[in-house]
Amino acid sequence: MEEKHVVITGAGSGLGASLALKYSEMGYHVTLLGRTYSKLRYLADKMTSDNVSLYTIDVSSAEEVQKVFSEIKEESGDIDILVNNAGVGIFGDAEDITTDAVDQMIDINLKGTIFCTQAVLPQMKKRNEGTIIQVISTAGLEGKPTEAVYCASKYGQRGFTESISKELADTDIHILSAYMGGMKTSFWDDIYTKEEIEHLMDPDDVADIILANVKARKNLTVPDIVIKNHIPKSN
């Protein structure tokens, strides 16, 4: 059986790391992309397989994305699955969000998704197969206080994804949008208390749900999944 190849952005921690470990266990060649090499190296060393590649990347740079993805294809072959997981959130009242913070969220969350998707679509269209997993968050489904700009970037991801899904409707390229609530990751360290973070979803559980829904099935596709935190009220 031909070896499958998955590329994951924002792979250094959280959901990206969980998906990377699970894909590695499934026998995939896993390409880890992130901003910090030491985090990628640490994750790669945890894998039971050495069938892994590491690249540092700034997904907000179209030129760098094209360069890195060309290197990936040359060294590891065609990409079967792309997971657009890289993201950043900077929260506060709308009028207090700095220009730099606006740029970061739009550049990484929205432009990064667009640039990485553009980088894989030509090869997927040529083969008429492939899967793209867009990690969007429930911030792409509804507005939230203190998250105005973050939501704007996520709504942009959603609009881009829904549009390319329609463009690809007559192909065997599948798009899965994952809308999830907060998870137990460092993403929330400056927002929630340690106790509050403990009540959030485990990224391993979210990764399992994504993998169960992205699995190829005859005459069936799952375009969207919504995964929310459930915190029972105390008696």
| Residue numbers annotated as active site | 150
| AA letter at 176 | L
Strand partners, 52: 30
Closest CA to 4 of 116, 80, 104, 85: 80
Give backbone dihedrals phi and psi of 205, rounded to 5 degrees, phi first. -70, -40
Greatest pairwise CA separation for the chain in angstroms: 58
CA distance 136 to 155: 8
CA distance 168 to 166: 5
CA distance 9 to 134: 10
Where is 55: in which H helix or E strand?
strand 52-56
Length of the chain: 235
What letter does residue 107 receive in the DSSP assignment? Answer: I
Where is 226: in which H helix or E strand?
strand 224-227
What letter does residue 235 receive in the DSSP assignment? Answer: -
Contact 90, 97 (CB under 8 A): yes
